[in-house]
Homo-oligomer: A and B are copies of this chain.
Amino acid sequence: MARPRTPLLSRERIVEAALALVDAEGLEALSTRRLAAELSVSGPSLYNHFATKDELLDAVVDSVMGEVDLGMFAPDTRSGGGAGSGGDWRTALRDWARSYRAALAGHPHIVPVLAQGPGRRPNALRLADAVYGCLVEAGWPRGQATRIGALMRYFITGSALGSFAAGFPEDVQLYAGDYPHLGEAHRLAEHRRAVDEGAFETGLEALLDGLALRFERGGTDHNGSEGPTATAPTAPSPHSVSGPA
């Protein structure tokens, strides 16, 4: 069989199969030959749909980013504050963070790829655009909005990259003697979900509390004297020169 009358493959079918394979067996199980076998075609067939394996991986990553809800950033559909009221950034950020984490937690093996940045992936750029736009409209100075987008991504991808709890082997012997405070660490894996979700929620709320403190202190338009971040270099405000409002 050479070219069939109706194509055996499509980008969608390939991306779907690739994600399923990565989810089930990890990134290193994703080889072009293995994936092709899963799709009942020969290895080189994939190159009719993607130029390289990296391009395929990019599409897989963006399909995961597409699962993240951005509805909370739509400016019109929310009540309780018109343009520039600046009160709801916190709720929006919390909802978004949870949706983002949930999407990544469903596909943990792809997180290292995704965490390299948005690149040219449309869903990743849409996400960055929405978060930044929300913060600026809420009254955050542009430089701070950029930083908040970055630090939220740090926390969320970090939390999805690997389970904290599952990182500790279930082996009592390992901890005995050498690590005086880790006497019960071998039991962490049992409570994996509770520990990881509790840590995420605690961190998220602490982050939002800390940011709210700065928001109150900082006002909406001054960029200097940013509180306790004395050692931080002053980040530029590189997203947009003329603001939307």
Partner-B contacts on A (CB < 8 A): 112, 115-120, 122, 125-126, 128-130, 132-133, 136, 143-144, 146-151, 153-159, 161-169, 174-175, 178-185, 187-188, 190-191, 193-203, 205-211, 213-214, 226-229, 231-242, 244
Known contacts A112-B112, A132-B181, A155-B154, A187 near B238 by CB under 8 Å = yes
Known contacts A148-B202, A153-B164, A178-B125, A195 near B235 by CB under 8 Å = yes
A161 touches B162 (CB 8 A): no
Residues of B with C-beta under 8 A to A182: 125, 128-129, 132, 239-240
Copies of this chain per assembly? 2
Q: How far is the CB of A162 from chain B (nearest CB, A)?
A: 4
* Chain A binding surface SS class: helix
Q: How far is the CB of A146 from chain B (nearest CB, A)?
A: 6
- Closest B residue to A197 by CB, please name it: B233
Q: Which of B158, B198, B210 contacts A156 (CB 8 A)?
A: B158
Q: Which of B112, B146, B159 contacts A151 (CB 8 A)?
A: B159
